[in-house]
Structure 1
Amino acid sequence: MEVDVLGPLAVSQKSASIVPTASKPRTVLAMLAIRANRYVPLSSLMDELWVTEKPASAKTAMQSYILHLRKRIAATACRHPDGPLPAAKDVLVTLPGGYLLKATDDRVVLDTFELLAAAGHRAREQGDFQAASENFAKALGLCRGRVLADVQVGPHLRMEVERIEESRLNVLDRRIESDLRLGRHHELLSELRSIISRHPTHEGLCAHLMLALYRSGRRSEALDVYQRMRATLVSELGLEPSPALRRLQRSMLVSDNGLSELNVTWDVSTF
């Protein structure tokens, strides 16, 4: 079983998709997929499907959704040319009070993403910015779009989606920081402008763009990025930029030579 939630839901057995088209079974599968190889309580599945009031038939309906998913798993197993695959009940396992979706360990894309991200963070802490950049880039390369983009999410999935999206943004931030330390400021400019258009109030990314522009000999543009960030923060959130971002702006105003050093980055989250 192969499981990928880093984009539209993709769950397949030997390349044959088992993702249903109906909304509620798809949501059930998404819950099992995002926690692949881990126990998912029946109560959590029902809370995800019926946020306000559960119908009297909720438990029966859940059993029918599980049966529907098992039929899809069984259908792909029967069609496989290499012979029979594990029985559906051994893939979508019933446990006391809940279920578990068994997947091949190296085929759970979210797990691979998290392993690569962890390797990147370790390399960064050790000062190996080349390895950090490479691991972060590999992790980001697994992302196919918004997490569970084609699934109707409830409270549990929404929390998981927000957690993963925040982790992905953090990995992106750290990859860019690593690339800045490697002197890749020219190559980052176009990417950073595109990212900031989607995250206009992210001060860390703004600082990265300012630093990349400054090191590219474009100080006035770097200062203009600050002014636009400040205007957005004031108009949308009623906030001034953080002290760290203001210090970066002041350093650029006085042409601080230290900003040109590759070992200098400006991580606003640490201030």
Structure 2
Amino acid sequence: MKIDMLGPFSAAIAGVPITPSARKPRRILALLALHAGQAVPVSAVVDEVWGAAAAPKAHITVQTYVLQLRNFIGQALKDPRAARDVLVTRPGSYALLVGEGTVDVHAYDRLCAQGQSAFETGDDAAAAALFREALALWKGRALDGVQDGPALGLEAMRLEQSRTDVLERCLTAELRLGAGERLLPELSALAEEHPHHEALHGLLMTALARSGRVSGALSVYETVTARLDERFGLLPSPDLLRLGRELRERAGQASHHA
């Protein structure tokens, strides 16, 4: 089985799609896939699908949806009975039992954890490689095509924030490895995509400065600080202020020697 959640939600067995077209069974499959290998209480499924609007017998409807999912799985496996070993009923809960590496979110989280360990120990080459491998799993917006309930909505938010954080750490590691010039197109695009993200702008400023474009780095600094003031009424963070001050000093020294 292969389940993709880092982009358009899809599930397939040996290339045969098993993703329901109906919204509620699709949401149940996504919830079970997110917690693959773990028992998910029926009450959690009901909360995810209906929330406070759940009918007294919503658990019976959940049973119907689970049967539909088992039918999809059984058809793909060409063995309806085998589906019960994949989507398992347990006391008061259901579990989706799949192999390691089946769900892209789980692979992503593993790679991110390994990359973070390397990053924290100063192994920038390993960190950058692991982070790039993790980021390559993304194919669009997290859980695209799944109507969010409380758990899936929070997970989508977590994943999107993680994606930005991991990208920032990856670029930091690559900059420390001396990849400033090569990263300029990517950093420029990211700064445009995230016009108020201080850390990404700081990385762009650093890459520009290391490429000999101190005036360009100062221009980026002035742009992002003006945006922060206009949009939020905020001053730049201490790190960005310090970087701006260092760039001004470099520009002044260059002007003095010219």
**Residue 221 of structure 2 corresponds to residue 230 of structure 1:** no
Gaps of 5+ in 2: 253-258
**Residue 97 of structure 2 corresponds to residue 98 of structure 1:** no
- Identity of aligned pairs, percent? 42
Q: For 1:162-173, what aligned pairs fall within 5 Å after superposition?
A: 162-173=157-168
Q: How far, CA to CA, are the matches of 2:60 and 2:212 in structure 1?
A: 66
2:199 to 196, 204, 215: 204
Q: CA offsets, 1:21-47, max 9 Å, x none?
A: 111111111111112112212111111
Gaps of 5+ in 1: 79-83, 258-271
Match of 2:73 in 1: 73
| Inter-CA distance 86–108: structure 2 relative to 1 (3 Å threshold) | farther
> Once the 2 structures are TM-superposed, how far is the Cα of residue 2 of structure 1 from its aligned partner?
2.1
Q: How far, CA to CA, are the matches of 1:16 and 1:120 in structure 2?
A: 33
Q: CA offsets, 1:191-238, max 9 Å, x none?
A: 112112222222111110010011111111111111221122122222
Match of 1:260 in 2: none
Q: What one-letter code is carried by the residue in structure 2 that aligns with 1:15?
A: G
Q: How far, CA to CA, are the matches of 1:123 and 1:165 in structure 2?
A: 22
For the Cα contact (< 8 Å) 1:2–1:104, is it kept in 2? no
Query: Structure 1 length as normaliser, TM-score?
Result: 0.88
* Superposed structure 1 runs of 4+ greater than 6 Å apart: none
Match of 1:89 in 2: 84
Match of 1:30 in 2: 30
Equivalent pairs counted in the alignment come to 252
> Once the 2 structures are TM-superposed, how far is the Cα of residue 150 of structure 1 from its aligned partner?
1.0
* More deviation, 18-27/219-228: 219-228
> Once the 2 structures are TM-superposed, how far is the Cα of residue 256 of structure 1 from its aligned partner?
8.2
Q: What one-letter code is carried by the residue in structure 2 that aligns with 1:222?
A: A
Q: CA offsets, 1:232-266, max 9 Å, x none?
A: 21222221111111111001000189xxxxxxxxx
Q: How far, CA to CA, are the matches of 1:183 and 1:256 in structure 2?
A: 21
Tell me the C-alpha RMSD between the 2 structures.
1.7
Match of 2:138 in 1: 143
For the Cα contact (< 8 Å) 2:70–2:80, is it kept in 1? no
For the Cα contact (< 8 Å) 1:123–1:132, is it kept in 2? yes
Q: What one-letter code is carried by the residue in structure 2 that aligns with 1:25?
A: P
> Once the 2 structures are TM-superposed, how far is the Cα of residue 86 of structure 1 from its aligned partner?
6.8
| Inter-CA distance 25–253: structure 2 relative to 1 (3 Å threshold) | same
1:130 to 125, 132, 154: 125
1:161 to 153, 156, 161: 156
Q: What one-letter code is carried by the residue in structure 2 that aligns with 1:194?
A: A
Query: Structure 2 length as normaliser, TM-score?
Result: 0.92
Match of 2:110 in 1: 115
Q: How far, CA to CA, are the matches of 1:93 and 1:196 in structure 2?
A: 46
Q: CA offsets, 1:55-79, max 9 Å, x none?
A: 234222211111111110011111x
> Once the 2 structures are TM-superposed, how far is the Cα of residue 109 of structure 1 from its aligned partner?
1.7
Q: For 1:33-44, what aligned pairs fall within 5 Å after superposition?
A: 33-44=33-44
> Once the 2 structures are TM-superposed, how far is the Cα of residue 85 of structure 1 from its aligned partner?
8.4
Q: How far, CA to CA, are the matches of 2:10 and 2:184 in structure 1?
A: 33
For the Cα contact (< 8 Å) 1:234–1:240, is it kept in 2? yes
Q: For 1:180-259, what aligned pairs fall within 5 Å after superposition?
A: 180-255=175-250
